[in-house]
Structure 1
Amino acid sequence: MNTTPQTTRDQILDYAQKLIRLRGCNGFSYRDLAEHVGVKTSSIHYYFPSKDDLLYEAVCAYSTRTLAALRAIDAKLPADVKLDRYVDFLEEMSEGEEICLCGMLAADLASVPDRVAQQIQGFVHAHEVWLSNVLIEGRAQGTLHVHGCPETAGRALFATLQGSGLVCRLFKTTSRLRDIVGAMRVQPANA
C-alpha cells in the first residue's frame, strides 16, 4: 500500500479522472475540483492552465496506470486466464458508475483537443494489440474462439468490452463483461 501523501496536483488529477469517468469532460468544472481538494480555482490553474491541459494529463495518467496493469499480467499464463485477468482489471476499474476514461472521452471527441484524441488513440491501440496477441495465443492453445484475423478480432473484442462497460453502468453490474469473455472460450467436447 502506498502511504506517501498525495500532492495537491495528484489530488486534483485523481479527482478529475473520477469526474471524467462519471460525467465526461464537460460534466465538471475547476470549481468542482477546487471544492473537493480544498483549494482555490487559481491553484488548479497553476497546475493545469487550461482544461485541455488537465484532460491531456488525465489521459496520460490513466493510460500509464492501465498499461502497467496489462504488463503486470503474467505472460506465462494460458491465454484464457490472461483474458480473465484483463476482465478482473476492468471490473476493478469500474468503481460504482465509473467507466473507462478513454471510452468516455472518445464519446466526447468533439470536445477534446487533437493531442488528447491522439493519446486516446494510443490507449485504444495498445489494448487492441494486447488483446490480439492473447487471442493468437488462445487460438494456438485451443482455449479461445477466434474467427478470422486475430487483429480484427482483438479490435472487435476491445470495442465489445468498451460497449459492455456502458451497459454494465446502465444495469449496475459487471457480469456482462464476464459473459463476453465466456463466449470466447472453447467449450470441451463433452460439455
Structure 2
Amino acid sequence: MMTTPTVREQVVHHAITLMMLRGYNGFSYRDLSELVGVKTSSIHYYFPSKDDLVLEAVSEYSNQVFNDIHAIDASLPADAKLAKYTKKFGRILGGGDQICLCGMLAADIGSLPDNIRHAVQAFFKANENWLAKVLAQGAKEGTLAVNGKPESAARTLFAAYQGCVLASRLFQTKARLEDVETAWKIMK
C-alpha cells in the first residue's frame, strides 16, 4: 500500500526538483507553496530558513543516490559496475533539463553556508571514493583504462560525469554521458 507523502516530504521533493532545474536562487517558498498546496508559513514551520531546507534536500538526495550506488551488485566486473553507475547517473538528467543537485549547488557554493558546502563536498567525495574502488578493480581485471592512481582518476571521472550533465542539458542529448563511460572502458 502506497502512503501519501507528508507535506514535509513533498516540500523536500519539490525543492530538489526545482534546484536541479533552476539552482539555489531559482526557487522560493512561494513556488513550493503553489506546488504543495500549502501556505508559505507551513513550509517555514518545517524549514525556518531556506538553508535548512537545502541542507535537508542535499541529505535526501544524497541518500537516494547512495542507495542506488550500493544496490549495484558488488560481484560484477568493474566495467559492468561503471555501466550501471552511468545509467543511474543518466536518470539525474530527467527529460534532459536537470542537473545533479550537488553539481548545481557546487556552482553556487560561494553564496551558501559552510554546512551546505560540507554536505556537497561529502557527496562528491563519496562518489569519488566508490569510483576509485571500481577503477582499481577494473585496472586489476583489465576491464577499465586507468592512468595514474585510482583516486586521482576517480576525481577526473566524476568531474567528467558532472560536466557531461551540463553539456547534455545544453545540447539536449544524453549521448555525452555515454561518451564518458566509453572513454574509460578497455575495448576488447
TM-score category by the smaller chain? over 0.9
Alignment of 1:110 onto 2:115: no
Unaligned runs of 5+ in 2: none
How many angstroms apart in 1 are the aligned matches of 2:43 and 2:173?
34
How many angstroms apart in 1 are the aligned matches of 2:3 and 2:81?
31
Question: SS in structure 1 opposite 2:85?
Answer: helix
> How far did residue 104 of structure 1 move?
0.2
How many angstroms apart in 1 are the aligned matches of 2:172 and 2:157?
21
How many angstroms apart in 2 are the aligned matches of 1:57 and 1:180?
30
Moved over 3 A (4+): none
Q: Deviations over 1:11-53 (max 9, x none)?
A: 0100000000000000011000001110000000001000010
Question: SS in structure 1 opposite 2:25?
Answer: coil
How many angstroms apart in 2 are the aligned matches of 1:182 and 1:52?
38
Q: Which residue of 1 aligns with 2:20?
A: 21
Q: Deviations over 1:92-115 (max 9, x none)?
A: 121121110000000000221100
Alignment of 1:12 onto 2:2: no
- With 88-97 and 49-58 compared, the bigger mean Cα shift is at 88-97
> How far did residue 171 of structure 1 move?
0.9
Q: Which residue of 2 aligns with 1:33?
A: 32
Q: Which residue of 1 aligns with 2:135?
A: 135
How many angstroms apart in 1 are the aligned matches of 2:54 and 2:68?
21
Contact 1:34 1:40 in 2 (8 A): yes
How many angstroms apart in 2 are the aligned matches of 1:10 and 1:111?
25
Alignment of 1:120 onto 2:111: no
Question: SS in structure 2 opposite 1:186?
Answer: coil
> How far did residue 172 of structure 1 move?
1.0
Unaligned runs of 5+ in 1: none
- Which amino acid in structure 2 is aligned with residue 177 of structure 1? L
Q: Which residue of 2 aligns with 1:49?
A: 48
Q: Which residue of 1 aligns with 2:94?
A: 95
How many angstroms apart in 2 are the aligned matches of 1:66 and 1:112?
22
Q: Deviations over 1:140-165 (max 9, x none)?
A: 11010000111000000000110011
Contact 1:25 1:111 in 2 (8 A): no
How many angstroms apart in 1 are the aligned matches of 2:180 and 2:105?
23
Q: How does 1:171-182 map to 2 (within 5 A)?
A: 171-182=171-182
- Which amino acid in structure 2 is aligned with residue 133 of structure 1? K
- Which amino acid in structure 2 is aligned with residue 86 of structure 1? Y
> How far did residue 69 of structure 1 move?
0.7
Q: Which residue of 1 aligns with 2:60?
A: 61
- Which amino acid in structure 1 is aligned with residue 135 of structure 2? L
> How far did residue 187 of structure 1 move?
1.4
TM-score (norm 1): 0.96
How many angstroms apart in 2 are the aligned matches of 1:103 and 1:161?
10
Q: Which residue of 2 aligns with 1:84?
A: 83
Kindly report the root-mean-square deviation, in angstroms, between the aligned alpha carbons of the 2 structures. Answer: 0.8
Question: SS in structure 2 opposite 1:173?
Answer: coil
Q: Deviations over 1:83-131 (max 9, x none)?
A: 0000110111211211100000000002211001000010000000000
